[in-house]
Amino acid sequence: MALMDLRGPVPNCGAHRIAWVIGTAPDWRLKYAELQATLGPNMVERLLAGDLTPGAGMGGKIYVWSNGRITANHFYQRTPKRWREAPHGFRMPQPASVKRAA
């Protein structure tokens, strides 16, 4: 998982989930760039900061980008979790060096 430099409280479930979709992607830079290209300049930063709440159109684009893991409704829900805590339904990724017992 790439550690993004996110400070302060998590503004809502949608922002939290975006951070986790990006941060747990094999190539987080590509995943971030895909969302930025889909939504437009500065939109990802505004969503992560809680300065923007997507409507149906933008919410639909986020839903497709996230393979159904994030809906527009997530941006209206608060979360008690911190940025480094996995959102509901997400699992903390295993480092590549950790081998699972057979």
The pLDDT tens digits along the chain (102 residues) read 444 567 789 999 999 999 999 989 999 999 999 999 999 989 999 999 999 999 999 999 999 999 999 999 999 999 999 998 989 888 776 555 544 555
Cα 69 to chain centroid, rounded = 9
Residues 70, 95: Cα–Cα separation, whole Å: 24
Vertex 39 angle, CA 14 and 49, to 5°: 40
What's the pTM? 0.83
Residues 32, 45: Cα–Cα separation, whole Å: 10
